[in-house]
Structure 1
């Protein structure tokens, strides 16, 4: 139900449960020891864990071939992933606002296997810590980034790549105490129905941190999110699935962190009941007709295989390149692969407001061709600004001008963070959170609380990757630290 009144409506009380784990993670979020030892660990690890990545033509990738019939670029083993052509025809709600054309073609990554993105957590001195890995991916702009305890495709952890065993994998194959376990989508505009299993598992066993691994509190991770290109996308995805919050009575306070805490508290008020939100999502999925089918890469009229890479003829969007990788400190030391490289930095922005002291986030329901169930909740603005600069006002993404022209005093988070460095080369998005006055809801938007988004993150196919990524950044303000 959309609200079109001139003033902000009042949220109504709703019932939310809060687990014991959420209270423990809230305490971990408030625990922020010095990061001096972490900085030293980064320096030591850079000497032992690194990748050297060089671009090479796609037709010179050892172990990969271009199918004569389809033009698909695939590994000779038939595993890992392939680069295929996708033709998309889109009708129904949101078709015209989310792209200038309701029909288009593009390359897309087809990686049908489900990987594991897992946090191993453990109490130290009564405070939950998360075991993080400093991982070097071939597409990382700055070498090392913080990844989950386990970040592995099925090909990795079943040994198809012929490399070393994945450290700590046994805790996720036979978990003793599961806090979260849900399959979540990857980018629906780059992957074809790709999902990963996001897991949070607690152990009481003595678990020493191997070389390149470190135990961090949630508060320390929240601080590190403010550093450009340090906390990788897989980590941000799992962070959004993590339960956070506790019973709180902060009526005497009126800060941003307090409004965020109220939105996560059990029984917190919300503008829209969750059952109405689920009905709205289901209706949009039902009415929208998206037809996406794989086609030969040569059939993509707006794309060309030239100079050993696949490029958009108009110089927009992204390109598919080949790379040769030499790695130290990884399961495999040398390989070749295709990668996606964006033409410019993308934008994932949340517009937030306080309604009766409770933080609400303006989310859009976005149709993307690679999603398993047609549409998922996305950030307020999800686009490549450079591709939108020439568009007339009626085709520009809603709220793009609002977030790009935000006053510094209204910005609550602003950091450039990388896409997943195993498939994307030097590609990232500006993660931006802007606080505004209440805005009326366009038909494909709803004001939701972070608590409602946390509830939805416990289920598959409701929050897209970009939404989870920037939601993790918003939730990093829980402890009130500056970002």
Structure 2
């Protein structure tokens, strides 16, 4: 098969087992490519994929414009995505009512990683992909990362390589196939099909792709701004190769499921779509849509040129957050079994009201003006313990929609008697998380990043 991946994958003989994944995770010194070769390949891709990204006024956007009636920012095709307003009432957090811009992209995209054995060791086909909002241009991405508009070629560009491995995969080759959400504060009901598919020797790596062991990818997860958000969410959907004792979990599986259902039923989140011009507390200038107190984020426009993308030049809006986020997961051991402290978060863009998030998830600058009682739970504790974190890496959020959006991801081990503050928090084992990730919309995108990091910890 050619590097475009147009042939169907051949079903490999052995099913993907925990022992096979463990062997791939243990192969930290390389497989098909040595570690120095991987770094050299990434450097060459960065040079080859150099992009010009320029901030421009909204009037210079090509193919985009504000609706005269509502003020919504949309593409002339009606596809891709739009930015409109949202009015929110919620019992979650210190503010009970507000309005805001939000990205609406009702299409379901595909985020997929191909998996293939080399000498009996599973390897992941990773892509070096540039995005206009990335702080460093190219980051390590899934085999396929495409919106429906992109893979249907609404933009008139070239075909997405390897797409048929996922759109026409044999059922027996599919390791994971689940709908997962994206940021519920920035997207309205956005979700993607997260897929992992086993392929055979007919699948070859093109020049922008490389076969890496899970151990190599896990090592790269410890480097700032290298493994992108879409790769992290798909990695979290791999079966967990490290087994914990479910019989010694602090809460039984049925208790966790009942708790999630209860929080979804009891939390109140009312959202009403409004015109972008109706968002109270926000203003539009020639170059941005921003909050009057310079909080949360702003919407900006960029012009992009890249001779190696599906389309060589385009312009688009991007969401630019203020500050660097703090995303922390507290972990403690109960009878020797690790437990992670998850929070049932209600965000306006979630399809099912509540998803499980990390212990802490916020941009501290957005709360600096509020009294201590209204600060996010555990934020002060996370910042005080950050220097001793077992995992402390700055990672980028999705560069196709966000401009230089970064968060400091932390995994912090706490005492065995560390308490859960309220009914929105529960201690959950990695094995229980693994089970929840088999189903749609249970674990949010920030927590999924930390699941991938926790397995590499």
Tell me the TM-score normalized by structure 1. Answer: 0.88
2:105 maps to what in 1? 111
- Cα distance in 1 for partners of 2:135, 2:209 equals 20
Conservation of the 8 A alpha-carbon contact between 2:72 and 2:277: no
Change (3 A) 1:394 1:313: same
Cα distance in 2 for residues equivalent to 1:330 and 1:388: 39
Among residues 409, 420, 438, which one is paired with 1:458 in the alignment? 438
In 2: Cα distance, 1:448 partner to 1:157 partner: 37
What's the offset of the Cα at 1:392?
Answer: 1.7
Which residue, 412, 427, 450 being the options, matches 2:405? Answer: 427
* Structure 2 Cα separation of the partners of residues 287 and 379 of structure 1: 20
1:436 to 414, 428, 431: 414
Q: CA deviation at 1:47?
A: 2.7
Give 1:396-411 correspondences, 5 Å limit: 396-406=375-385, 408=387, 410-411=388-389
| 3-state SS of paired residue (1:443) | coil
Q: Deviations over 1:363-414 (max 9, x none)?
A: 0000000000001000000000122233222111111111100163x41100
Q: Are residues 1:149 and 2:139 paired? A: no
- How many Å separate the matches in 2 of 1:22 and 1:180? 14
Is this contact kept in 1: 2:330–2:412, CA < 8 A?
A: yes
Quote the Cα distance in structure 1 between the aligned partners of 2:321 and 2:389: 25
Question: Does the C-alpha gap of structure 1 residues 188 and 407 become closer, same or farther in structure 2, counting only changes over 3 Å?
Answer: closer
Matches within 5 A, 1:69-468: 69-91=69-91, 95=92, 98=93, 100-176=94-170, 177-245=173-241, 261=242, 264-265=243-244, 267=246, 269-406=248-385, 408=387, 410-437=388-415, 438-441=417-420, 442-468=422-448
CA distance in 2, matches of 1:371, 1:427: 20
The count of residues paired between Structure 1 and Structure 2 equals: 435
Q: 1:301 offset after TM fit, Å?
A: 1.5
Distance of 2:359 and 2:399 partners within structure 1: 25
| Partners of 2:112 and 2:104 in 1: CA distance | 22
Deviation at 1:266, TM superposition (A): 6.0
CA–CA separation in structure 2 for the residues paired with 1:36 and 1:461:
38
Measure how far apart 1:159 and its partner are: 1.2
TM-score (norm 2): 0.93
- Aligned partners of 1:40 and 1:20: how far apart in 2? 30
Q: Distance in 2 between matches of 1:20 and 1:351?
A: 30
Structure 2: tracts of 5 or more residues without a match: 1-14
What is the CA distance between 1:206 and its match in structure 2?
Answer: 2.4
Tell me the CA shift for residue 20 of structure 1: 4.7
Do 1:23 and 1:244's aligned partners in 2 also have CA atoms closer than 8 Å?
no
- Once superposed, what is the RMSD of the aligned Cα atoms? 1.3
Q: CA deviation at 1:269?
A: 2.2
- CA gap of 1:362–1:75, structure 2 versus 1, over 3 A, is same
Q: Distance in 1 between matches of 2:16 and 2:312?
A: 42
**1: CA distance between counterparts of 2:160 and 2:337?**
43
Q: Is the 8 A contact 2:246 2:431 kept in 1?
A: no
Cα drift, residue 107 of structure 1: 0.5
Note the alpha carbon deviations across 1:54-99, whole angstroms, 9 max, x for none: 11112321101110111100000010000000000113xxx2xx2x
Alpha-carbon separation, structure 1, partners of 2:100 and 2:19: 45
User: d(CA) in 2 for partners of 1:297 and 1:266?
Assistant: 50
Structure 1 unaligned regions, length at least 5: 1-18, 246-260, 478-483
**Which stretch of structure 1 is more off in the superposition, 129-138 or 277-286?**
277-286
State whether residues 59 and 66 of structure 1, in contact with CA within 8 Å, keep that contact through their aligned partners in structure 2: no
Moved over 4 A (4+): none
Task: Find the partner of 1:474 among 441, 454, 457.
Answer: 454
The question of whether the paired residues in 2 share the 8 Å contact of 1:222 and 1:476 is answered with: yes
SS in 2 for 1:228: coil
**Matched position secondary structure for 1:467:** helix
Q: Verify the 8 A CA contact 2:82 2:103 in the aligned structure 1.
A: yes
Once residues 436 and 281 of structure 2 are traced to their aligned partners in structure 1, the CA distance between those partners, rounded to angstroms, is 37
**Contact 1:48–1:328 at 8 Å: present in 2 too?**
no
TM superposition shift of 1:26: 1.5
- Give the aligned partner of residue 54 of structure 2: 54
Distance 1:36 1:170 in 2: 31
